[in-house]
Structure 1
Amino acid sequence: MTTTDTTTAAATSLLRFATAGSVDDGKSTLVGRLLHDSKSVLADQLEAVTHASRNRGASAPDLALLTDGLRAEREQGITIDVAYRYFATPRRRFILADTPGHVQYTRNMVTGASTAQAAVVLVDARNGVVEQTRRHAAVAALLRVPHLILAVNKMDLAGYAESVFAPIAAEFAAYAGSLGVPEVTAIPVSALAGDNVVTPSPHMDWYGGPTVLEHLETVPVVTDPASEPARFPVQYVIRPRTATHPDYRGYAGQIASGVLRVGEQVTVLPSGRTSTITGIDALGSSVDVAWAPQSVTVRLADDLDISRGDLIAPAASAPATTRDVEATVCHVADRPLRVGDRVLLKHTTRTVKALVKAVPSRLTLDDLSQHPEPGRLAANDIGRVVLRTAEPLALDPYAGSRRTGSFLLIDPADGTTLTAGMAGEAFAAGPGKPSDDSVEGWDF
């Protein structure tokens, strides 16, 4: 199979995107309008929303209720948890994450945007770019969301004036540029009235760009799997021990990135041992080529000691192993993360013990300044941490791979997720050459 064939077979019409913005900017209403006007709402759902809206004294259906499903959300008129919705148009399928706008729910926004391929950031046309707008744009940039869309909402309350829209779009584009975002698509909308959400607005003839849905349907998301180095975290070792396959040994998992081929020489990390792929099984059949994100079973020529958590990668592009990790993290737990804390680090299918050696800085998202040596990170804080792991890890830089460059820190006492991490350039010892140093204060 050629690279072109691989790309065509791996192509998908699925787009994951998230909405974000300040409180009351109209995120849930935009999502509701998107679902309603794209004919993605079932009749009984719309009837339930209409009934709930009447009980609250509204004369028309409150489309925000299509996503604000928690009782507390409906009572307070805010979004608290990430609401996922699935819908489709003839051109593309969508997984939508409607994220909260409150500062205290920034961690929920991180959850929704972590797998997003696009982020729609809303602003109120009357208020312009505010603190939370900058915060959410910075989070999207840190999470390497490929496409950023600015929806200037409530244009109906601003007289549909271009003079209101243009300076907001320019200010946001300048801020996004300082974050390293190369391009922003700005769209003037009225989620309540439906202007430029699914159908073009008759009130803004000065705007000639796409509607929100048109842009989401056409934004490029397909990449060539062969353009990224292959990474295959082992999830399970298969040993059927049957009369038909007495010597079968396969390593099952999901390909995180890249392409695997039969006959390719690979390195198993962290051991650094090499072998050759002799077979790939997918959906009960043998194949010569497999690519991300397929789930497959890989067979190797040599009988190596491989278990869950090991990583199989092409020998020519194997990542370095390290026990010293420096990363940008978003702390998501109510319990602070402090220097000296003992945690578990989960990277792909591998979980190891780790020690928080330092918290060099905490990011102030308003002006992107660094608060040096804070000593701890509280809930929703974003900062830099230095970790020392008990066992070597094969980490990629997050900038190169959102899948194999990310990790979680977990409380070893109760399994609570503490922190979401994005690895920077690791202090590498080279493939298969982990350090023998021990973590101070730990007994392994």
Structure 2
Amino acid sequence: MSQQQKLSRTLSGRHINMIALGGTIGTGLFLGAGDSIQKAGPTILLVYIITGFFVFSMMRALGELLLTDHSQTVFIGFIKKYLGERTGFVMGWTYWLGWVIIAMAELTAIGKYMQFWFPQTPAWLWELLFLGILYSMNIIAVKAFGETEFWFALIKIVAIVAMILIGVVMVVFHIRSEAGVTKLSTLWQHGLIANHGNNLLAAFQMAFFAFLGVEFVGITAAETKNPLQTIPKSINSIIIRILIFYIGALLAIMTIQPWTNYSANTSPFVQVFSGIGIPAAAGIINFVILTAAASSLNSALFTTGRMIFSLSPKNSFFNKLNKHYIPMRGITLSAVLVASVIGLNYIFPEDAFGIVTSTASATFIVIYISLLLTHIKYRKSEQFANGEKLFLMPGAPFSNYLTILFMATVFLILLFSPNTMVTTILAIVWFIVLFTISLYKIKK
């Protein structure tokens, strides 16, 4: 079985670029932008730029680590190497659980999105169908996963680019909509900040969550054909994608209609397309959001399978690959756990999954901070002193500490905000439990 213990390198640069891009675009933009605009007003543009800068900083630290050993199955291996087995154990299983919970929430969402067109069909049927298709894609070939994710990301990109182009055309030609004549001054004519800035900190929390999953490119490193070329290119282009897709889309949305018109409970994309006379707006956006949820579920199956493979002892049941050089057993276990949400939906109220998902999101902040600490430790190691200097993180270690400070601030915002206090405390409890288990495992 030794020849099977290396993951297949069949993901091309095209796949990696789209995977990295898909990781930064999700329901946080399509659905969450309305809430963000309500909290911050046009200042949300600055919030996204600042958040994007620090996310990019974290990704540069990850990119430098990946190129020191791109055979690592998942980036958690670097945390284990430089911060110790115990920290690697805690962060590894936290990252796995976080993606399983996200997959559960996304699968639930898929059922609801499909009922938009087929209200008489039970949601569980669509959930089983989508899970079955994506599971099959993940165990057949890595390239099949890459192709699926490529097209999912492309659909999201087309929707955002269409939004931006519509905004440019309407501003240039002063086209009238339900909100009046479109002009650039619409952006600031109702003020630049919402509610005197009282909810500005909460907007940082929302913006940060919108970027969750951007580190997913680090999971694909071991299955990339040319990691030395594709990984730096993908990571460097992240800041451009942030500016174009997030800032561009939000700028277009708040220019076509005054930011005061948007509701926190409705996708601003639906409101914009409806306002410019496209009656099928709700259906179009529902399709885009459906692909965003399916994309996240697809990525979750890919990630969790490789996490179990990486975290399991060598030559154990879950540390084996199938004939396609894919960790099928880990993917299968994760898929079964994700499928359990179908039954749980009948037992627990819908809000329970929102709470659990928020808990997972809070844990991602700790994982990102661990990555930055890992990079600091690497820079102090003999490997860095004696090794080849590739794709160096700009401004390190000062940029590391600055990014850690920002992320710690977002965590404190979560901890002291009434809506997220309980979920953040649950995340802290999770870390305490895992740390206790790790003590037992090491003693044993």
TM-score (structure 2 length as normaliser): 0.23
| Structure of larger gyration radius | 1
Which structure exhibits the higher relative contact order, with contacts defined as CA atoms closer than 8 Å and separated by 6 or more residues? 2
Larger relative helix fraction: 2
TM-score (structure 1 length as normaliser): 0.23
